[in-house]
Amino acid sequence: MSSKKSIGFSSSVSLLHCLSLQLQFWSFLCSFSIFIFDYPTFFRDEGKKWHTSTINKILRNEKYIADALLQKTYTTDFLNKTRVKNNGIVPQYYVEGNHEAIIPKDIFLRVQEELVRRRVVKTSANGKKRSYSCNHCFSQIVICGECGEMFRRLHWNNRGVKSIVWRCISRLESTGLECHARTINEPVLQDAVVKAINQMLGDKSSYQLQLNIASVIRASQATSVENIDEKLMVLQQELIQKAQSKEAYDEIADEIFRLRELCQQTTVDTAARDEQIKRINDLQDYIAQQTTHLTEFDESLVRRWIKQITIWDDHITVELKSGVSIDVDA
């Protein structure tokens, strides 16, 4: 296992020169990181390709948040100057605040969470992993209320009548689950979304209450991060003093590592809460701008507002990204 040691103070080594070629990409990547993974290959004006491996390396590069992981590679032969990837053979050192950050840490951490989420969207009861897909606006958000599996889009030809339906994966392949969920026509799904959004447009008071609750929780999280940072500053000073006097400092170092992990998780939670508040505000603005109810299905609204659609025997539950759930008869 790789040994990583964290250093809490700034290093004099500057890595800005190494970042100069990559700096121009980051304003694009942070704003459109989701878009990047939906389209695996990009083309420059001259026709050259952007490969997903390159994009992945950029999105995972800790140097953009002012940190540096040292000894990612090491030299095995000094005569031939052969370098190989460090898989734990020699220690690695994680330096925080090594240089000026060009990306906020909360955005970077949110990108890391999104990368993990998209790696495996869902694992079936039989152990099969479902990978991320964005082929259709309903892809991977339509869930079976009976067995919890995802629904899959199918093209049916029943006695010469063609139609598009959604059916539980447990009824299409062996998942280790017995399921009797109904097959649902795509127009029925679309109609359920329209009904849910129209119901949302008619109920404006609940979203203000939800926004107030989210704001209070977010404020408490921000206070928690500040308190952790203050404790870290005190402990780091104690660590330096003990190191200079050659006293044992293992307990202090362990506590520093624990608080840093806690601070990182709290930062992620705060960023997620900020995103929820933003979604609620956007939703309120959308509701305020809508003077009439929807009359037809709009795919962009699904991608923008809908988190999950659960299919039951007698109704459909539409869950919004803001956290509100709406039951629709269908």
User: How many CA atoms lie within 13 Å of 287's alpha carbon, on the beta-carbon side?
Assistant: 20
Find out whether 70 and 95 touch, Cβ atoms under 8 Å: yes
Q: What's the rounded mean pLDDT across residues 208-229?
A: 62
The pair of three-digit structure tokens given for residue 187, joined into one six-digit string: 């127009």
The pair of three-digit structure tokens given for residue 127, joined into one six-digit string: 């152990």
Report pLDDT for 313.
Answer: 93
Report pLDDT for 249.
Answer: 74
Find out whether 217 and 275 touch, Cβ atoms under 8 Å: no
Complete domains list, the chain, with CATH: 4-105 (no CATH), 122-181 (no CATH), 205-329 (1.10.287)
Letter for the amino acid at 123? T
Chain position carrying tokens 């959004």: 197
Which tens digit of pLDDT belongs to each residue from 262-297? 877 777 777 777 776 777 777 777 777 877 888 899
Q: What is the pTM of this model?
A: 0.58
Q: What's the rounded mean pLDDT across residues 92-117?
A: 80
Largest CA distance in the chain: 86
Q: 93's torsion region: left (phi>0), alpha (psi -120 to 50) or beta?
A: beta
264: closest CA among 217, 233, 224, 213?
224
Count of residues for the chain?
A: 330
What are the residues whose beta carbons fall under 8 Å from the beta carbon of 34, sequence distance 6 or more?
Answer: 114
With a cut of 70, say whether residue 87 has pLDDT above it.
Answer: yes
Q: 71's torsion region: left (phi>0), alpha (psi -120 to 50) or beta?
A: left
Give the mean pLDDT of the chain: 76
Letter for the amino acid at 302? V
Which tens digit of pLDDT belongs to each residue from 167-177? 999 999 887 78
Res. 33 pLDDT band, cuts 50 70 90? very low
